[in-house]
Structure 1
Amino acid sequence: MSDNQQQKEDKTTFLHAFKQQIMKAWQPVPTLNSTIIVFAILSTIFLVFGIVLVVFTNKIIDYKVRYDTKCSTINYPKPDTVFNPAICTATFTVTEDMEAPVFVYYELTNFYQNHRRYVKSKSVVQLQGDSVSYSDVSNCEPIIYYSDLRKYRFVDKSLKDGDYAWPCGLIAASLFNDTYALYDPNGNKVDISSNNIAWPSDKSTKYKNRDMSIQWTSVEDERFMVWMRTAALPDFRKLWGRIDQKVTAGVYTIQIQNNYPVDSFDGTKSFVLSTANAFGGRNSFLGISYLVMGIICFIILMVFVFKKFRQNKPKQEKEK
């Protein structure tokens, strides 16, 4: 048989096997010993990672001040009047020095940013600074025009009701707009920067201003970019700024411009001052999850070890 004929025959055999689904395959058959080894490795990995994450998380210094109960209720005036937000203050004690950088967060509770209608209510084309038609902003419903936006927040009177709201959509319309001023124990204002708080990919590709004369807010503001990344859970923290200097122990005062109402969704809001580690901010859930999975794998491991011991015991008795 020639080489060409052999190759044709091999190809025909392969195609027949492929069509009939009788191709050779390797299927691992777990044994008691291999199962014990797998669960021993998994339990070790999960427990080690869990312990490391918990230890790192416990080293984070974190101070939270809930202030929605300290500040007066926000009563919005009529649209044809000027809105003067309330200013309130709160104090808290830093018990140990916090090394730079120190991060400033705001925390909201009972705010469901993961609702499908809310998440899709934005225009990617508009946020990138391109000209838009109605089809480009149709996903922004119910906030498409400035007349729609004025039902949710105050915007400049020079922006016409019939123009497209820029930016449009529910996410942008619900932008968190409380502001903070932090003062150290000596009464000096602490500089809180909004630089480098958004993702680099967001800053470079996703957000670009079109024309500030037709926009009610800047989409290149990093606090806006942080807000636009919707949270998966109803209770969340978002980065508001960073302090690039050491925060020493003492009594600090927060001056809050109280703009953002939380009564309508029965929520709370808090000011948070925190350090971070190699894994980010405080997050006990991840470390605890690893520990729980490690313990489960260890329990399964012990079950298989006990089973192996039971199997070996009759053999040892027979040998005697």
Structure 2
Amino acid sequence: MSRVDDDGEEDSVLDLADQLNRPPDVAIQQQRIKAWHPILDPEWMIYGYLILAVVLIPLGFKIKALSDSIVELHSIYDAKDQSLIDTTRTSDCRIGENYNQNKTCTIQFEAPEDMEPPVMIYYELNNFHQNHRFYSRSRDSFQLVGRVGKNRDPTFRALCEPLDVLGGKTLNPCGFVANTFFNDKISLIGGNDEDGLQLEMNEEGIAWRSDLEYKFGLPEGFQMQECPTVEECSGNSTCCQDNGFSCDSPARSKQDGKCYAYDYPEADTTRYLHETYPDMISPLEHVTNEHFVVWMRTETRPQFRKLYGWINQKIPKGEKIEFEIWSNYVVESFSGHKALIVTTTNMFGGKNQYIGVTFYGLGFTFLAFGIIFAVKHWFRPRRIADRKYLHFKEE
């Protein structure tokens, strides 16, 4: 190998044996690998467009038909713009800017068609930007899996500022996402299935299993001990003191209904989630509460819905379904609204007209292109490599 210097004379370089950084003499690294360059002639393009049209048009109409078969009931029960509130279905749920008012109201739906299980219960927020970068990053992932005190990573702790400490106590969990948790409480109080049995709303199984297993956990050092009797959960109890735990009174487990005393690490200097949201979060769950786990998976759009529960019973046509709401979450401060949604689902999820329309819209577009190109090619065909279509740059 040689090179040419500024005077136009060749200057010898290292011999091949001494060129240590020379790439191996293989086809892929020396760019000698064989390649296939397809030429899409008019006939192939026409066939391609027509095939896509044949696939997408019926598929789009099928998806739209499945979406139309979904029964969805929607009711706005609190909003900055009061004209949006569905007064025909809801009693007065407005709380203005009175946080944690715990105002009780009811929402009643009537099933327009038979609703096959599972029937999903969602709450919806509008004009709430969970996708804001500063908001979505404001969390401590190490704290959420159970690390406390010195075991917390300072990098993640800094992301929580200024909601890392409040009133001289460390927030656990910290950050904007955790401390704007949706704390309206929703309860199903009326309605029967096709067999006349009372409808029941399940609030378990709403969060991703991977989130529960790998992203959220009780604090390191957390302890719980079963109390001698279930009655310990009510009235005066010494179960906590007898075990030397930090709790003032025991808590009842949702899983087995038993009464447990509990102890949190650094309880004197830390404000835990059950203290911030006592009506929503059990001290035996902390950040593993499924409603909280669902909330922590932030959304990409300012109007979104999150799963609150589900009904595994068939609801017959004409059945009245009644919910009781304990309204605590303020939406007036960000000019939004909150709504309750009861809906069935299909293999593509909930009601969505856009997917089917997009599919058959593209299908008709491809069909039009295929027909136009076919007509053009029929009357004025172009033969590949015909010299009259080649234009060379003049010297």
Q: CA RMSD in A?
A: 2.6
Deviation larger for 256-265 or 242-251: 242-251
Q: What is the correspondence of 1:156-175 to structure 2 with a 5 Å cutoff?
A: 161-175=167-181
- Is residue 67 of structure 1 aligned with residue 136 of structure 2? no
Contact conserved, 2:77 with 2:94, CA < 8 A, in 1?
no
Largest Rg, 1 or 2: 2
Q: Give aligned pairs, total.
A: 282
Measured after TM superposition, the shift of residue 197 of structure 1 is: 0.9
Check conservation: 2:96, 2:332, Cα contact below 8 A: no
The separation in 2 between residues aligned to 1:204 and 1:85, in whole angstroms, is 32
Name 1:103's counterpart in structure 2.
Answer: 120
Measure how far apart 1:98 and its partner are: 1.5
Q: What is the rounded CA distance, in whole Å, between the counterparts of 1:220 and 1:205 in structure 2? A: 11
In the TM superposition, residue 261 of structure 1 has moved relative to its aligned partner by: 0.7
Match of 1:182 among 182, 185, 188: 188
Cα-to-partner distance string for 1:99-145 (whole Å, 9 max, x where unaligned):
22211001111111111111111121111112314333111233212
Amino acid at match of 2:116: E
Change (3 A) 1:16 1:260: closer
Give me the identity figure in percent: 33
The answer to whether structure 1 residue 42 and structure 2 residue 52 are counterparts is: yes
Question: Contact 2:142–2:153 at 8 Å: present in 1 too?
Answer: no
Larger relative helix fraction: 1
Match of 2:334 among 257, 262, 265: 265
1:184–1:250 contact (8 Å) kept in structure 2? no
**SS at the partner of 2:147?**
coil
Give the stretch that moved more between structures: 134-143 or 199-208. Answer: 134-143
In the alignment, which residue of structure 2 is the partner of 1:86?
103
Counterpart amino acid of 2:320? V
Letter in 2 for 1:243: I
More strand by share: 2
Q: Distance in 2 between matches of 1:110 and 1:245?
A: 33
Tell me if structure 1 keeps the 8 A contact 2:124–2:306: yes
2:371 to 298, 302, 314: 302
Letter in structure 2 aligned against 1:233 = R
TM-score normalized with structure 1 length: 0.79
1:293 Cα deviation (Å)?
2.0
Alpha carbons 2:191, 2:198 under 8 Å: kept: no
Q: TM-score, normalised by structure 2?
A: 0.65
The structural deviation recorded for 1:258 is 0.5
Report what 1:5 is aligned to. Answer: none
> 2: distance between equivalents of 1:129 and 1:261?
29
For residue 17 of structure 1, report the CA deviation from its aligned partner: 6.9
Q: Which runs of 5+ in 1 are unaligned?
A: 1-11, 78-82, 148-160, 314-320
